[in-house]
Amino acid sequence: MNENINIGTMPILALRGLVVFPEQTVHFEVGRVKSVLALEEAMKKGQTLLLMPQKDIAKDDPELRDLYAMGTVAKIKQILRGQGETIRVLVTGLYRARIQELTQSDPYLFGVVASVSDTEVTENLSARALRREANTLYGSYLELTEHQAQPVQLKMLSSASCGFLADSIAQNSGIEFEDKMKLLLQLHPVRRLEMALKLLRQEMEMVRLESSIHEKTKFHIDQQQRDYYLREQMRAIRDELGEDEENEYAELERKILELKLADEVEEKLLRDVSRMKKQPFGSSEGAVLRNYLDVVLELPWNKKTKERIDVSAARKVLDKDHFGLQKVKERILETIAVRQMAPENPAQIICLVGPPGVGKTSIAYSIARALNRKMARLSLGGVHDEADIRGHRKTYVGAMPGRIMTALSQSDSSNPLLLLDEVDKMGTDYRGDPSAALLEVLDGEQNSAYRDNYLEIPFDLSDVMFIATANTLDTIPRPLLDRMEVIELGSYTDEEKLMIAKNHLLPKQLAKHGLKKTQLRITDDGIREIISCYTRESGVRNLERRIAQLCRKADMELLQGSESKRITVNGSNLEQYLGIRKFLPDRVPMGDQVGLVTGLAWTSVGGEVLEVEVNVMDGTGKLELTGNLGDVMKESAHAALSYIRANAGTLGISADFYKTKDIHVHFPEGAVPKDGPSAGVTVCTAMVSALTGTTVRSDVAMTGEISIRGRVLPIGGLKEKTMAALRHGIRTVIIPKENERDLEEIDQTVRKALNFVSAQTVEAVLDTALNRRVDGVTPALLNTIPEDVKGKGQKPGIRQ
């Protein structure tokens, strides 16, 4: 039962947002006039007063109805006067109390006060367990909040009162004001402690959440403060250096306006400058925009070199830089002539195709020099990402424009010559097809408004001259090849290599190695030996390396105190400088033999001779093919056998040879893969020779595809094949009838040294190649092609 005991009159002080519990020491500040006067009155009358929490903390002059129904009588322990009218008070709560009657409202609150006692409860096991739980939970709370409240905790541990524990928890925790008032109004000690524990658990959960949020926000705030501090330092440094951002923005705008770009482009760039102004100093978005504008302004928007379109001047440059290649030069000069007659037409896109080292890249440089265009080279070998051509979106980290726009920036001209080197060696993967990205670049109808992914604005490529180089057309996609005009560069003849070495390579290497013409002399015989015995290639790269090796040897010999001041290298002393010969001179087989025929093959580095051997043994009609052959070559062998079986009687072969004889066809150099149809006539001739026992002329070589009806079909690579025949000492070459027109492209030196026999059927081939005798006379070369044969164009086809 609760009992109200009238204890007399005393001053009353209204508290805002604060509850004081019995037996708890609290300090607070007092500033209102009524509150100060109430304190002063209390100090005169026993230093006690009633502390009553008010309901609305915004009420500055509360009345009785504005106060809660219960408060705490407290003893004033200490009063400290601070600056101004603020007073700091230290009090200790004594007991709960109510206002029986408010006798005075001004100048301070004063009234009759009655104490309120707690409900009496019987001590039991449940109450003891509750007190233990309270002490444990409050200890956890202190650890969680890291509060230094050891004296309070000691008092709680030594107390056997549930009410005291509840009041201590309420007073010394972060429980909300309204919840504290509920605990103050609760007079049942056990229930009050249960309420306090429930509220303390909620408070602990709240503290945990606040701690988690605090840790997260603290990290971001620290990072922001650090960034802000560094930015302010950078700003101060810029101010000391006299760098003004506003002037920088104005300079960017001035540069954009001076370029006199299209309205669409100019508006976009000015918008980007405006956006960059709004970015905070050092922001990532500002850095992206700054880099973007720098890249755009570095492009040669209105810069052009004055093109020199003069066919005669271009001819002089090409002749000076390159020996031979007459057809290639003529085709390039034709392009320049069209440009001279119709300068408004877009430049043609040329693709130079040929073996390595024949001068494709150097011709492009010569064209640029002849036209007075700046030059930029794009090496496309191994490129397999579309973004390498088109660029990356600028939103990506590390984004950059594609190779086309980068090359234009490097050339510093909007009408350069761009060399697309090794265009046949591009690859594709999941990141796209770079050859597809080149379609727009190389299309004269579209590239006047080319959009790079990084720039996102159109750039005119119609004034750019594109020249591509490739070793083969097989790996270039058809749509891309359709946009280019192909000019083929064949292999150099030995005589052309000799002239190139004398006029270009040797002077170049002498200058590079610090030698004078009087100090090192390489005779023509020595250069020919290098060509035939130390290099086997279509171009002249290895030849240049060997000449460089001779120059290095000469430098060493001259520096080591050689008695001679002049070194002469010829065919007889070449091994002294270059070592033993890597390739022995090719020779034809010794004498005419049965079943051994010389064929001709084309490779990526030039032409080669290809011997075919056939043995015939007693057996059951098996055909054995060896020598690392491809499917097409195997099919050619079977086609030859079918022709022989169908014409066995005419050829003088037993009609049942395919039942009683085994035929083994072998191609030497078995480690080298071989394929293609052009060895068909060679295999057929070797089979007929072996089956009839007729010898084959050793000075004859042949090439041509065979059909099962005995027709000789055209082949490709005739120029390279005939040069290989000449190197091997061949005197007569059998070619398909349809390849007569290709003789026009063969070097005059080769044409004069060889006899060419055209054959339309296998029978004509056999008449020339086999040592048949008719009335004791060997058949003459009835089908020999006269030297004045005219023809043009090389028929494309699958080459062996």
| Residues noted as catalytic | 678, 721
| CA pair distance 431, 386, nearest whole angstrom | 6
| CA pair distance 567, 650, nearest whole angstrom | 64
**DSSP letters spanning 23-75:** T-EEEEEE-SHHHHHHHHHHHHTTTEEEEEEBS-TT-SS--GGGB-S-EEEEE
Using DSSP's 3-state secondary structure scheme, residue 721 falls into helix
Tokens of 409: 């920036």
**Angle formed by the axes of helices 245-258 and 284-298, nearest 10°:** 30
Counted residue by residue, the chain has a size of 800
| CA pair distance 662, 223, nearest whole angstrom | 87
Phi first, then psi, for residue 537 (nearest 5°) are -155, 165
CA 710 to each of CA 493, 597, 613, 674, 739: distance values in angstroms, whole numbers, following the listed order = 33, 18, 21, 23, 17
Is the dihedral angle over the CA atoms 239, 245, 251, 254 positive or is it negative? negative
| CA pair distance 681, 699, nearest whole angstrom | 16
Pairing relation of β-strands 695-696 and 593-594? antiparallel
Tokens of 82: 């601070």
Tokens of 176: 């909300």
CA 84 to each of CA 28, 32, 80, 559, 724: distance values in angstroms, whole numbers, following the listed order = 16, 12, 12, 100, 113
| CA pair distance 679, 375, nearest whole angstrom | 44
Pairing relation of β-strands 71-81 and 48-53? antiparallel
| CA pair distance 635, 645, nearest whole angstrom | 15
The residue whose two tokens read 């929490």 is 53
Say how many C-beta atoms besides its own lie within 10 A of residue 710's C-beta. 23
8 Å CB contact between 381 and 422: yes
| CA pair distance 122, 112, nearest whole angstrom | 32
| CA pair distance 581, 575, nearest whole angstrom | 7
Strands (E), 359-460: 375-379, 417-421, 450-451, 458-459
Say how many C-beta atoms besides its own lie within 10 A of residue 202's C-beta. 13
Pairing relation of β-strands 606-618 and 596-603? antiparallel
Q: Rounded to 5 degrees, what angle do the CA atoms 581, 587, 592 make?
A: 155
| CA pair distance 789, 778, nearest whole angstrom | 26
8 Å CB contact between 499 and 323: yes
Q: Please state the three-class secondary structure of 274-298 as a single string.
A: HHHHHCCCCCHHHHHHHHHHHHHHH
Residue 50, class by beta-carbon neighbours within 10 Å (0-12 exposed, 13-18 middle, 19+ buried)? buried
Phi first, then psi, for residue 258 (nearest 5°) are -70, -25
Identity of the residue numbered 82: G
User: What is the CB-side half-sphere exposure of residue 261 using CA atoms within 13 A?
Assistant: 24
Quickly count helices (H) and strands (E) in the chain: 28, 26
Pairing relation of β-strands 48-53 and 4-15? parallel
Q: Which residue from 216, 184, 211, 173 is spatially nearest to 97, judged by alpha carbons?
A: 184
